[in-house]
Amino acid sequence: MAFDKAWKKACSSSTPTVLLIPKNKRYLLKPVNFRGPCKSKVSFTIMGTLEASRNQEDWDGMISRHWILFSNIDNLTVRGGGTINGNGKIWWRGSCKMDASTVSRKISDALSFNSCKNLRVENLKVMDSPRMHISLEKCTGVDASHLTITAPTESPNTDGIHITHSKNVKIANSFIGTGDDCISIVSGSKNVMATNIVCGPGHGISIGSLGAHNSEAQVSNVTVDRARFIGTTNGVRIKTWQV
């Protein structure tokens, strides 16, 4: 696969590298994992459009719930002014929130980061994810800004930015309007700041859900500053499971 080869070359470079998706170019993409560690800084610059394949056979056999996954990378930047289109409509009808009898285990997050340090995500449009639009898991030192994240009001589980077991995360100057939480912050996360966010439609900014199956859960030092909520079902809330 061309993207795999390009990534391996960029990641193995001993000098800072830019991997460019050109403007006015559109690429259909199957699930992909861009793995680290990398030898130097990498900028994944999206000026064109990355679009998820509509062919459900392309998703057969996928192990994780991720479409575009960056894992175990330090000093990564993802930017460029382009678009990431998850083509979620074909998957939403398989959500348990839409029809419990047709649950699909292949429903994936659009753009995911796992175990990344000193991460920048900026100046991107992410739209119509099958599930969560941007997912941060076990990440440290994240600066996300100037993002536009959109999905229809009725789209299920389409959180804008989902944060789990991550710390030192800043989200700023972004518009998020989806069918679920604009930002969701779950267990193991701390030092999260959201500033100058326009949220709506959606469910607002949420801490949780926490404490499923009688488990312990911790989220600490969360700041929301200069947020505007337009047509949301909630503002800022904490969600917990009932014992």
Contact at 8 Å (CB) between 53 and 59?
A: yes
Residue 13 buriedness (CB in 10 A; 0-12 / 13-18 / 19+): middle
Catalytic residue at 146?
Answer: no
- Please identify which of the residues 66, 133, 162, 203 carries the catalytic annotation: 203
Q: How far is CA 4 from CA 16, 30, 84, 217, in A?
A: 18, 11, 18, 37
Q: What is the CATH number of the domain that holds 226?
A: 2.160.20.10
Q: Which domain does 52 fall in, by range?
A: 2-240
Instruction: Dig out the tokens for 172 from the structure.
Output: 């700023």
Contact at 8 Å (CB) between 120 and 147?
A: no
Give the number of domains in the chain: 1
List per-residue pLDDT tens for the chain, 243 residues long: 688 999 999 999 999 999 999 999 999 999 999 999 999 999 999 999 999 988 877 777 666 689 999 999 999 999 999 999 999 998 898 665 655 545 555 689 999 999 999 999 999 999 999 999 999 999 999 999 999 999 999 999 999 999 999 999 999 999 999 999 999 999 999 999 999 999 999 999 999 888 887 788 899 999 999 999 999 999 999 988 876
Residues 221 and 1: their CA atoms lie apart, in Å, by: 42
